[in-house]
Amino acid sequence: MLFANLAVALAKIGLGYYSGTVSIISDGFHSLTDTASNVVGLVGISIARRPPDANHPYGHRKYETMASVGILVFLILVLVEVLRAALDRLLNGGSPRVFPEGIVLMTVTLIVNLVVVSYELRRGRQLRSEVLLADAKHTRSDVFTSLAVLGALFGVWAGYPLFDPVAALLVAGFIGHACWSIAQEASRILSDEMMMDEREVREVIQSVAGVLGCEKIRTRGSTDYVFLDLHLWLDRNTPLFSAHETSHVVKDKLMANFPQLMDVVIHIEPPPPPSP
């Protein structure tokens, strides 16, 4: 995927500068960030897959989220450049040169991008990888921008040069949307947003014999890599050994019902006294 994205980007940038088409140049720089994203993603995934150690008892999964933030930074830089180029063409005018070979080349790069998106989405879901899914979103936005650029090329060919900077602004819109989607997902993980429905967790816990209730249910992590801790209420006269066994039954049942759970920490306590 790395070399495919690089080839697509270089082809678009070369064609854009040769023809003077700002929309193709913008789309080319957008594609170039796919290559940078692949490099960042490879590094992030290799670190994130390391097992927990003394300094990282919760594992290294957030390095993958940090890699997704790296993709976001590249996208923001491209967004600024695309907006600058589009506004310059709108203010200063100019008409690019459009020729059939250029349209064919853009069509080929579009097909390559479709193949890349399909592969990354499939593998990202199989591996439950944040970086692959984030990069797939990025590349999918590249598909839409390529379609917009192709439409602009036909418009310019028909004698409407304004289509070129307008398409570049449309490219900026797709890039901005990809930025927003990745930022939202990364912020949920880095801010330790609740990752599971508390009601569903409570239902599983209270289905275990001997459990009187639970409270302080907290989850964090990513969609497919969740840590859960909670307070479990048992009868105050329950022997320690029996309480310990019950907590293990609860943990095993939670892990079986929610495969995204990586670990569950349970604090055993008696239920609070009834309110007066």
**C-alpha 80, offset from chain centre:** 21
Quote the pLDDT of residue 8. 75
DSSP state letters, 106-123: HHHHHHHHHHHHHHHHHH
Closest CA to 128 of 263, 225, 194, 261: 225
Q: What angle do CA 77, 64, 186 make, to 5 degrees?
A: 60
Parallel/antiparallel/unpaired status of strands 213-222 and 261-269: unpaired
Structure tokens at 137: 């979103």
Nearest Cα neighbor of 213 from 262, 275, 266, 276 is: 266
Helix%, strand%, coil% for the chain, nearest 5: 65, 10, 20
What is the three-class DSSP state of 217? strand
Domains and CATH numbers, the chain: 2-190 (1.20.1510.10), 198-269 (3.30.70.1350)
Q: What is the pLDDT of residues 210-266, one digit of tens each?
A: 999 999 999 998 887 899 999 999 999 999 999 999 999 999 999 999 999 999 999
List the one residue out of 42, 73, 188 whose CA is nearest residue 138: 73
Using CA atoms, how far residue 272 sits from 126, 213, 232, 235, 242, in Å, is 44, 10, 11, 11, 20
What pTM was computed for the model? 0.69
Q: Distance between CA 271 and CA 266 in Å, rounded? A: 14
Give the per-residue pLDDT at 216.
94
Each residue's pLDDT, cut to its tens digit, for the chain (276 residues) gives: 567 767 777 888 888 788 778 888 777 877 777 676 666 666 666 777 788 888 888 888 788 788 778 778 878 888 888 888 888 888 887 777 777 777 887 888 788 778 877 887 888 777 777 667 766 776 777 777 788 888 888 888 888 888 888 888 888 887 788 788 888 888 888 888 999 999 999 999 999 999 999 999 999 988 878 999 999 999 999 999 999 999 999 999 999 999 999 999 999 999 988 766
For residue 80, the cross-strand partners are none
